[in-house]
A = this chain, B = another copy of it.
Amino acid sequence: MSLKVGVIGTGMIGQDHIRRLTQVLSGVEVTGVSDIDASRAAAAAPQGAEVFATPQALIRSDRIDAVVICSWGPAHEEQLLDCIAAGKPVFCEKPLVTSAEAARRVMDAEVGFGRRLVQVGFMRRFDADYRRLKAVIDGGTLGLPLIYKSVHRNASVPPGLYTSEMPLNDTLVHDADISRWLLSDEVTGVEVRLPRRSRQGGELRDPHMVLLHMASGAIVDVEISVNIAYGYDIRGEVSCETGIAALPNRPATVITDAHGIRQAIPEDWRERFIEAYDQEFREWIAAAGQGTATGPSTWDGYAATLVADAALEAAETGQLARIEMGEKPGLYDLPLQQAA
C-alpha cells in the first residue's frame, strides 16, 4: 500500500520533491498538488494526480494521506495547523514558520493533538557523513563534546537577492540545527563577530563568525562564507575530551596532476546533499505510513527561529543574545536523544 501524498507549492523545490516521490522512492505516490499558480500546479502534477484549488482542499481530501509543504514561509503556519486539525502527517520545508509565536502556536496544536505529525526539512540530519559523526560522539569513546566547529561555505549567492541578514536568518539555521542534533544539546545564547569583509560580495556582510553557547557549556563556532568562489564546502569538527571527530572529505576521485594531489569540492548543495534529501523522505514516508512523524520536529523548527532572531540581535548589539526556549513538551523528547 503506497502512501498518498499531496504537495503544496510546486516551485523549484516542490518540483524536485515530486520527482523524488515519483521516480526515486518506493511506497509512495503523489496523488494531489496545489499551488497559488494553478497552471504551475497542473504542469507539475504527475499523471493521475489531482490539482486542488486550495491547500485546504488538498489537506482535507480523502485522496491525501500525508502532506508536503513547499509553499513560501508566511503560508506555513495556516497549512500546518490545517494538517494537524486533519490529523495528517506533514513534511514542511524550512523555515517551519516565520516567528517564534507562530512556532508556539503550531506546537500547541500538535501537543493538543497528542502525537507528532510534523517533520521539518533539516536534511543534514539524514546525511550519512553527519550520521556517522553523531554515532562517534554518541558512542562516547572520545569523552564529552566541548567545542564544535561548523563551516558553511557557498560558492556564491545571487547579488541583490541575498541580503546581509540572510547568513544569520537563512544560512545559519542549518548549522544551528545540526549542532543541536549532533551534541544533543540546546542553544542558550548567540554571539556574532564580523571579520574583515570579503571583496567577493561587494557590500554584502561576509563572512560571519557565530558562537553558539549551548546548555551543556559546549561552544559551537560557526564560520559562514557565502561567496568563497571555489565551491560548496561543508565542514564539521567536534573537539571532545580525548579526541576529535570530523566530517571527511567528500568521496571525489583522487587526481594527481599539475595542480597537485587533489579531490574536487562539490559545486552546490544539490550535489552535496542529494542522498540526504532522498533519505529524509524515505524516513518521512515510513513514519507517515504509521500516522506520525520522526526526524526534526516542530520543537526543532521553533529552536531555529529563536536562534535566527538571536543572531540578528547579536549582530546588531555586538553582545551575547540569550535564548529562552521555555519547557520542552514531552512530545518532543525523543528526536534529540534518538541515535541516528
Those of A16-72 within 8 Å (CB) of chain B: 22-28
What's the Cα separation between A236 and B109 when bound, in Å? 49
With both beta carbons as reference points, the residue of chain B lying nearest to A213 in the complex is identified as B193
A207 at the interface (CB under 8 A from B): yes
Contact yes or no, B265 A243, CB < 8 A: no
A259 at the interface (CB under 8 A from B): yes
Closest 5 CB pairs of A and B: A196-B217, A262-B262, A243-B257, A259-B259, A260-B262
A197 at the interface (CB under 8 A from B): yes
Known A196-B214, A256-B265; further 4 A-B contacts with Cβ < 8 A? A144-B196, A230-B244, A249-B261, A259-B259
What's the Cα separation between A257 and B233 when bound, in Å? 10
A263 at the interface (CB under 8 A from B): yes
Chain B residues near A231 (CB-CB < 8 A):
256, 258
Chain B residues near A249 (CB-CB < 8 A):
248-249, 251, 261
Which A residues contact B (CB, under 8 angstroms)?
22-28, 128-129, 132-133, 135-136, 141-147, 149, 193, 195-200, 207, 209, 211, 214, 216-219, 221, 223, 225, 228-231, 233, 239, 241-265
A209 touches which of B28, B128, B143, B219 (Cβ 8 Å): B219
What's the Cα separation between A229 and B252 when bound, in Å? 22
Chain B residues near A24 (CB-CB < 8 A):
26
A150 to chain B, nearest CB (A): 12
Contact yes or no, B243 A196, CB < 8 A: no
With both beta carbons as reference points, the residue of chain B lying nearest to A227 in the complex is identified as B241
What's the Cα separation between A244 and B256 when bound, in Å? 5
A to B CB contacts below 8 Å, 5 in the list: A132-B252, A147-B223, A249-B251, A260-B265, A261-B262
A79 to chain B, nearest CB (A): 26
Chain B residues near A193 (CB-CB < 8 A):
211, 219
What's the Cα separation between A198 and B144 when bound, in Å? 8
Contact yes or no, B198 A253, CB < 8 A: no
What's the Cα separation between A229 and B258 when bound, in Å? 8
Given the interface contacts A251-B249, A263-B261, does A195 sit within 8 Å of B207 by beta carbon?
no
What's the Cα separation between A287 and B217 when bound, in Å? 49
Most buried by B among A25, A146, A198, A231: A146
Contact yes or no, A263 B248, CB < 8 A: yes
Chain B residues near A262 (CB-CB < 8 A):
259-263
With both beta carbons as reference points, the residue of chain B lying nearest to A151 in the complex is identified as B239
Chain B residues near A214 (CB-CB < 8 A):
196
A109 to chain B, nearest CB (A): 33
Contact yes or no, B198 A143, CB < 8 A: yes
What's the Cα separation between A106 and B257 when bound, in Å? 43
Contact yes or no, B216 A230, CB < 8 A: no
Chain B residues near A261 (CB-CB < 8 A):
249, 262-263, 265
Chain B residues near A230 (CB-CB < 8 A):
242-244, 256-258
Contact yes or no, B242 A248, CB < 8 A: no
Given the interface contacts A217-B197, A263-B261, does A251 sit within 8 Å of B147 by beta carbon?
no
Contact yes or no, B198 A241, CB < 8 A: yes
Contact yes or no, A248 B245, CB < 8 A: no
Chain B residues near A233 (CB-CB < 8 A):
244, 256
Given the interface contacts A23-B26, A230-B258, A256-B244, does A251 sit within 8 Å of B128 by beta carbon?
yes
